[in-house]
Amino acid sequence: MRTFTIIWLGQLVSTIGSYMTEFAITIWAWELTGSATALALVGFFSQLPRIPITLFAGIIVDRFNRKRLMILGDTVAALSTIAILLLYLTDNLQIWHLYLTSAANGSFGQIQQLAYSTSIAMIVPPQHYTRASSMGSMVHYGSAIFAPAFAGSLYPVVGLLGILLIDLTTFTVAIATLVTIYIPQPPRPDSQQVPDTLAFGFRYIWNHQGLRALLVTTALFWFAHDLGGAVYEPMILARTDGSAQVLGSIAASAGIGGVTGAVIVSIWGGPKRRIDGMLLGFIGAGLSKTIFGLGRTTLVWIPAQFCSSLNFPLLASAETAIWMAKVVPEMQGRVFAANALILQIVSAIAAFIAGPLADRVFEPAMSPGGKLVTILGGIFGSDFGAGMAVLYVITAIGLLLVGCGGFTYRELQEIEDIEPNRNPDT
């Protein structure tokens, strides 16, 4: 676990810097546009290039040095931050520049993430897969605690310029930790024995009922999750008159909940039946997000967000551990890429439709005189952000239904019994 821990620490520092920049940029973009669509499109352009990249990412990760690919991802992210910094210094920064840098980060970040996830099986003993995955969750949630607090307190003093410079420093730390460690490489696949076709990963998944069921279930979950997630920040900003302090406190509560969940899973090691842990996490997230969407103040938002994030280390680590246990290491790049491609398409669709649904359908319907306000106004109100709250609750209920439905999905319940297979056609 020593090598993994070094990588983990470097990524934690880097992610804190990146989240500080994202937080500051979100406030800047909302003040500029006041539009849910504009913010959602940042996520859309981050996801869009991941789709074609993922078609080749599996083959790239299986054939090239994974450590160097991770360094490349951090380097491109640092260059994107430099580009934003220069545009800001010259008073030329516009919202469409964020779309471009998000696209660049999404492209190389997909390869970096795949290289990272497939390296875990090479540097972590199998009995620690769930623990390593939960530590990975701590990178996200730990950053979510500190980044909003740091950014919120430093922004008035150092401005966007200072935040961007801090972000660049953290990238240096991440790259330095990668340079100093050794990551074993799996045997390169023999093209005569394992066809290097883009269809390999899909055939592998499709011909294993359990993995196919897992992909369908997680795709439904993440579609609903990302559709709601795309309107989360504009919903809070709309209902609090653009308060960065409220948004930061909610983000911090998410981080605390996530870290708490990750620590619990790291100590516990996860349930014996990983699929049950994943589905229970789906249900817990759905219930918490439903309460969050119904709330209108921090007295509801903060504890609900804490409880929501508490579930994600469990569901994410359980899902990741299943994939790592059921796919042999030398094929993980292409199989994981096939899984990631479907999820990227689903996420991009969700991000693309979320903004227009919020701005053109639900917000007008929940404004005074709207079609839904007479039915739902007593629950959600009729002020700016009420329509986004309705959309958010609908997606949260979707998460709950996916989790409950998973317990009745026979092929999904039987996934624990299948063995890793080296032949994609059987």
pLDDT at 419: 66
Q: What mean pLDDT, rounded, does the chain reach?
A: 84
Instruction: Please tell me the distance from the alpha carbon of residue 416 to that of residue 332, in angstroms, as a whole number.
Output: 18
In a domain, 6, yes or no: yes
Q: What is the dihedral of CA 349, 354, 30, 99, to 10 degrees?
A: 10
pLDDT at 310: 92
φ, ψ of residue 198 in degrees (nearest 5):
-65, -20
pLDDT at 242: 83
Residue 242 gets the label, from left (phi > 0), alpha (psi -120 to 50) or beta, of left
- How many domains does the chain divide into? 1
Instruction: Copy the structure tokens of residue 20.
Output: 């500080």
CA distances (Å), origin 380, targets 227, 364, 383, 386? 19, 13, 9, 6
CA distances (Å), origin 251, targets 23, 282, 313? 9, 20, 16
In a domain, 231, yes or no: yes
262 close to 313: Cβ distance less than 8 angstroms = yes
Reading the chain (426 residues) residue by residue, the pLDDT tens digits are 677 778 878 878 888 888 888 888 888 888 788 888 888 888 788 878 877 776 776 677 777 777 888 888 888 888 988 999 899 889 888 888 988 988 888 778 777 777 777 777 677 776 666 667 667 666 766 777 788 778 877 777 787 788 889 888 888 888 888 888 777 776 665 554 444 455 788 888 888 888 999 999 999 999 999 999 999 989 999 999 888 778 888 988 888 888 888 788 877 877 788 899 999 999 999 999 999 999 999 999 999 999 999 999 889 888 988 888 888 777 777 788 788 888 889 998 998 999 999 999 999 999 998 999 989 999 999 999 999 999 999 999 999 999 999 999 988 988 877 766 655 555
351 close to 44: Cβ distance less than 8 angstroms = yes
In a domain, 426, yes or no: no
Look at the pTM and tell me if it is higher than 0.85.
no
CATH of the domain at 233: 1.20.1250.20
pLDDT at 235: 94
Instruction: Please tell me the distance from the alpha carbon of residue 62 to that of residue 187, in angstroms, as a whole number.
Output: 9
Instruction: Copy the structure tokens of residue 337.
Output: 């890429």
In a domain, 255, yes or no: yes
Burial group, residue 182, by CB count within 10 angstroms (0-12, 13-18, 19+): exposed
In a domain, 422, yes or no: no
CB within 8 A of 55, min separation 6: which ones?
198, 337, 341
In a domain, 424, yes or no: no
Instruction: Please tell me the distance from the alpha carbon of residue 362 to that of residue 381, in angstroms, as a whole number.
Output: 12
Instruction: Please tell me the distance from the alpha carbon of residue 14 to that of residue 173, in angstroms, as a whole number.
Output: 7
CB within 8 A of 192, min separation 6: which ones?
none
In a domain, 23, yes or no: yes
pLDDT at 425: 57
Instruction: Please tell me the distance from the alpha carbon of residue 113 to that of residue 344, in angstroms, as a whole number.
Output: 13
The pLDDT tens digits of the residues spanning 394-421 come to 999 999 999 999 999 988 988 877 766 6
Residue 91 gets the label, from left (phi > 0), alpha (psi -120 to 50) or beta, of left
Instruction: Please tell me the distance from the alpha carbon of residue 267 to that of residue 130, in angstroms, as a whole number.
Output: 10
pLDDT at 5: 78
pLDDT at 198: 55
CA distances (Å), origin 75, targets 12, 70, 83, 105, 167? 16, 9, 12, 10, 12
Instruction: Please tell me the distance from the alpha carbon of residue 329 to that of residue 215, in angstroms, as a whole number.
Output: 19
- What is the span of the domain harbouring residue 68? 2-183+197-417
The pLDDT tens digits of the residues spanning 328-345 come to 777 777 788 788 888 889
In a domain, 190, yes or no: no
pLDDT at 192: 43
Tell me the HSE value of 397 on the side-chain side, using a 13 A CA sphere: 6
The 8 Å CB, 24+ separation contacts for 270-276 are 270/130, 270/131, 270/134, 270/314, 270/317, 270/318, 270/321, 271/318, 273/416, 274/130, 274/318, 274/319, 274/321, 274/322, 274/325, 274/416, 275/214, 275/318, 275/322, 275/406, 275/412, 275/413, 275/415, 275/416
